[in-house]
Structure 1
Amino acid sequence: MSDFAHSVVVGGGGAVGGMFTDLLREAGSRTVVVDVTVPAREGGSCLVADVTAPGPELAAALGRADLVLLAVHEAVALRAVAPVTRLMRPGALLADTLSVRTGMAAEVAARAPDVQHVGLNPMFAPSAGLAGRPVAAVVTRDGPGVAALLRLVERGGGRLVRLSAREHDRTTAATQALTHAVVLSFGLALTRLGVDIRTLTATAPPPHQVLLTLLARVLGGRPEVYGEIQWSNPGAASARRALAEALRSFASLIGDDLDSVDSLDLLGGAVGDPRAAAGLDGVFEELRRFLGPGLAVRQESCHELFRTLQRIDDEGETDR
């Protein structure tokens, strides 16, 4: 028997909402999917409604639900907190799948402080499947419903990583906003170099092939999803500034001057100072310390990744 006899998934027609809908139904929950249009996967059984202004049918579904999960954009989820929680029965759980946590945590604390709430952010594309994948979990108000939903995610194979709202946003600013900025900036740089993609593909060593592959993966997604991560995460701007500053630092270490500005390099030494070239040794050492004991494991993982791209000899690849 499911811990959630009745559940409502708002945005269940999307990839993330659909993943949680399947998880709940497989556990025996009678799950109502709510969306603004009827998704093909629901075969016409979807409740078409606006969650920010629930009508009678949606209000009834929310009133009998043990769990209401919001798998919608942040702006919609924030507007939905007050009207949805007013209709939820005592003891029911509110959950959401937002990729930014601090705003939602504050809204729930202000509008529904007595309602159990947990945010679940799948750190992977839903098409990859839940098994073995990390799911960031941020508990705003704990309770038996929260524990039950977290158990359900673990039974489905998800690997829970529990964080505070602030820890979550600071971490995802690095793992998502920074990563996406690096990959898309790499692609933009290639377009500005005027190189031919066929020539690149034919001559690229494995590290470049991996970056091209990452670029292709990002481009397979929806721009608004990547844009929301950049715009809504409070730490994303700092991550992008750190990236820009790091590039300037790297350029100055090898005697370049990106902005023709006579300023001090972030890692020590003036821009264009020949002595700064030796600083690259220090950068390598600093980064090796940062990666710590996992360095060797990641190096081996990279070697295995390269082997899936092409047959290579063991010699020389680490320098390319």
Structure 2
Amino acid sequence: MVLSFLKTVKSRIPTDLAPDVSRPTVGIIGGLGRMGRWFAKFFQDAGFPVLISDMQTELRPEDLARQCQVIILSLPMQVFPKVVAKLGPIIPENSFLTDLCSLKQSQVACMLECACCEIAGTHPLFGPVEKSMKGRRVALCKGRGKRWFTWWEGLLRKHGAVTSVVSPEEHDRTMAWTQALNHFILLCLGKAMDDHGIDPKQIMALATPSFEQQMEILARLYHQDPELYATIQMSNPYTDGVLETFSQHGANLRKIIKERDRKAFIELFEEVQDLGHTVLLSKKNYVDSR
């Protein structure tokens, strides 16, 4: 399967291709991973020549970096600094380097320190199960340079992506809520159900629509990489603060319920209702702006 995939990539690479900003050669380091494959296919379908380097390929990352104008790092965050430190000095100044990591502060800083080319951070806010870029969110963090960043954002938008440009710090602060806390809640829910011996068939038979949605999201964990989820939880510097805040409010709500403090419960509920209304308005504005 790997050899077949590589042959497909190689067959689409013109042998006489000259460097071209409008149609650059794209290199994906870690291109045999799930997201690496996804983006390799994305670029192939868009008509770009693609080179791939991975542990199973003959093409080394160093050689790829010298041959490609656009270099995408689809790497586990644990090995990211070591790989970038090795490749950075090799990458030509007129090239473009970006990554697909779930965190951005340390990744963008690492690329800026090790390489002299144009740099941006990219976080696709979707997984490799998606069939296209259309309607999917992508976070972009500016690093160095404008020419390639403009090209990259334009390409993503052309293919239907909804891009948001944020600072690396703002990105990671937000990910502590949308990823780390979200995963934390799912893991706690799943573990609690498992420890209590809940029968999935029975609970699905009696599930409300909102709980059924939660169960569907929980079920997606079956296809996810626990190593990646562990890294997201433990590498984001803002996760501890978010989980501490969440735990405090959980303990407070538990106390309110235990003491049967109906007035305090309703006050808390109404506060969250106000937030819910704001979320609905924000979602509407977001949809209208697309």
User: Please, which runs of 5 or more residues in structure 2 have no aligned partner?
Assistant: 1-19, 284-290
Could you tell me the percent identity over the aligned residues?
Answer: 24
Call closer, same or farther: CA 1:185–1:234 in 2, change over 3 Å: same
1:184 aligns with 2:169: no
1:81 equivalent in structure 2: 84
2:146 is aligned, of 143, 146, 161, to 143
1:101 aligns with 2:104: yes
Mapping of 1:1-320 within 5 angstroms?
3-37=22-56, 46-49=57-60, 51=61, 54=62, 58=63, 61-112=64-115, 114-128=116-130, 129-254=132-257, 256=258, 272=259, 276-295=261-280
CA contact (8 A) 1:117 1:140 kept: yes
User: Residue 248 of structure 1: CA displacement?
Assistant: 0.6
TM-score, normalised to structure 2, is 0.84
Call closer, same or farther: CA 1:220–1:208 in 2, change over 3 Å: same
User: Residue 83 of structure 1: CA displacement?
Assistant: 2.3
TM-score, normalised to structure 1, is 0.76
User: Residue 140 of structure 1: CA displacement?
Assistant: 1.2
User: Residue 30 of structure 1: CA displacement?
Assistant: 1.8
User: Residue 233 of structure 1: CA displacement?
Assistant: 1.3
Q: What SS class does the counterpart of residue 126 from structure 1 fall into?
A: coil
CA contact (8 A) 2:121 2:141 kept: yes
Q: What SS class does the counterpart of residue 39 from structure 2 fall into?
A: helix
Call closer, same or farther: CA 1:297–1:165 in 2, change over 3 Å: closer
User: Please, which runs of 5 or more residues in structure 1 have no aligned partner?
Assistant: 38-45, 257-271, 299-320
**Per-residue displacement from partner, 1:101-145 (whole Å, max 9, x unpaired)?**
111122123223x32111111111121231101001011112211
Q: What SS class does the counterpart of residue 124 from structure 1 fall into?
A: coil
Output the CA distance in 1 between the equivalents of 2:249 and 2:181. 12
CA contact (8 A) 1:65 1:89 kept: no
Q: What SS class does the counterpart of residue 119 from structure 1 fall into?
A: strand
Output the CA distance in 2 between the equivalents of 1:292 and 1:218. 29
Count of matched residue positions in the alignment of Structure 1 and Structure 2:
264
CA contact (8 A) 1:95 1:118 kept: yes
Q: What SS class does the counterpart of residue 127 from structure 1 fall into?
A: coil
Output the CA distance in 2 between the equivalents of 1:289 and 1:94. 42
Call closer, same or farther: CA 1:166–1:296 in 2, change over 3 Å: closer
Q: What SS class does the counterpart of residue 237 from structure 2 fall into?
A: coil
Output the CA distance in 2 between the equivalents of 1:297 and 1:69. 32
**Per-residue displacement from partner, 1:213-237 (whole Å, max 9, x unpaired)?**
1110122212112111111111122
**Per-residue displacement from partner, 1:149-198 (whole Å, max 9, x unpaired)?**
11111112111011100000000110011111111111111122233222
Output the CA distance in 2 between the equivalents of 1:204 and 1:24. 42
CA contact (8 A) 1:62 1:88 kept: yes
**Per-residue displacement from partner, 1:244-290 (whole Å, max 9, x unpaired)?**
22211110111x2xxxxxxxxxxxxxxx4x5x431122212211222
Output the CA distance in 2 between the equivalents of 1:142 and 1:90. 10
Output the CA distance in 1 between the equivalents of 2:113 and 2:137. 29
User: Residue 297 of structure 1: CA displacement?
Assistant: 9.1
Call closer, same or farther: CA 1:219–1:236 in 2, change over 3 Å: farther
Output the CA distance in 1 between the equivalents of 2:245 and 2:59. 43
1:269 equivalent in structure 2: none
Larger Rg: 1
Moved more, 11-20 or 167-176: 11-20
CA contact (8 A) 2:28 2:53 kept: yes
